[in-house]
Amino acid sequence: MRSGWSDRLRENWVIFRQNLLGKIGMILLVCFGLMAITSFIPPLIDPMYDPMTGVDPEIISSTAPSARHWLGTDFMGRDILSQLLAGARVAFMVGVSAAFMSIFLGTAIGMVAGYAGRFIDTLLMRAADIIMVMPTLLVVLILSSLFGQLNIWTIVLIIALFRWPGVSRVIRAQTLSLKNRPFIEAARVAGASHLRIVFRHIMPNVLPLAFLYMTFRVTSAIIIEAALAFLGFGDPGTVSWGMMLQWVWKTGHMFKAPYWLLPPGLCISLITLSFYMLGRAMDEVLDPRLRKEGQAE
């Protein structure tokens, strides 16, 4: 099972590299990654560049881009560029952690459902059905009405709790097809416990698929967090792109300050686009039928 794993990886990388969409997606993501990394720099240069608390002694309202503030300032005089960079950091954090959590949950539940079968399977898949029907954003809204202002990690957790059904379905299907293969049978005969079979034999074969789905999960998590922040239900302590849009909207600057309105929304849209392109490229890698002719055989 494990042999040829690195060969396959290398082969997949070649196909991936040839894909134009994938390349663009990667480039964009790298840019955003750089943004996230450099987000630590502005406050170090001068505390007035702090995205949340930075106050420029000479500017106390929203101003257009200038030499000192490359993207201008928001209504409190805070630097928009540093907010944008911080937002990139938050986006990656939210996206990747929510994706990881939902993959983790989805894989575990999918494997259990596929392997255990019958009652447990039906129960879990019914639960998945119900959760899939629910509009995540609105559920988080209701939950925040009950539990008050949610902090960013709670939001991430709830998002993950509503995104696992999609992954679990796929993993379950894969588990079902693996369950009856000879090598599993052999392990069982050799006396391996169910737990061992699931973790040592099924999981490694199921994980690559899980990671593919991660790319799609990341974008939806980022969008949901952004929408939440936009509506005013985000974590007030974090500066996310959605939060920036909320500020520009609620403070009535949306008609007056394009330098403030445009960048955050553009970033959200572009990062969504890049993950989508990446996902499509990975799709081609994993599903040979989608490959164009002329690629690596």
| Residues forming the site for another protein (CB under 8 A) | 129-130, 132-138, 141-147, 223-224, 226-227, 230-233, 245, 248-249, 254-255, 258, 261-262, 264-266, 268-270, 272-273, 276-277, 293-294
CA distance 105 to 83: 32
Map residue 79 onto helix, strand or coil: strand
Nearest CA among 44, 119, 132 for reference residue 82: 44
Closest approach of Cβ 231 to another protein, in Å? 6
DSSP letter, residue 202: I
Nearest CA among 257, 221, 216, 255 for reference residue 240: 221
| Whether the Cβ atoms of residue 275 and residue 28 lie closer than 8 Å to each other | no
Q: Which is nearer to another protein, 210 or 226 (CB)?
A: 226
Closest approach of Cβ 141 to another protein, in Å? 5
Q: Which is nearer to another protein, 178 or 238 (CB)?
A: 238
Q: Which is nearer to another protein, 53 or 149 (CB)?
A: 149
Q: Which is nearer to another protein, 22 or 54 (CB)?
A: 22
Q: How many CB atoms lie within 10 A of CB 273?
A: 15
CA distance 242 to 105: 26
Closest approach of Cβ 73 to another protein, in Å? 19
**DSSP H helical segments within 57-151, as ranges?**
80-116, 118-133, 136-147
Closest approach of Cβ 258 to another protein, in Å? 8
Q: Longest Cα pair distance anywhere in the chain, in angstroms?
A: 77
Q: Which is nearer to another protein, 138 or 189 (CB)?
A: 138
Q: Which amino acid is at 87?
A: G
Closest approach of Cβ 227 to another protein, in Å? 6
Q: Which is nearer to another protein, 16 or 276 (CB)?
A: 276
Closest approach of Cβ 178 to another protein, in Å? 25
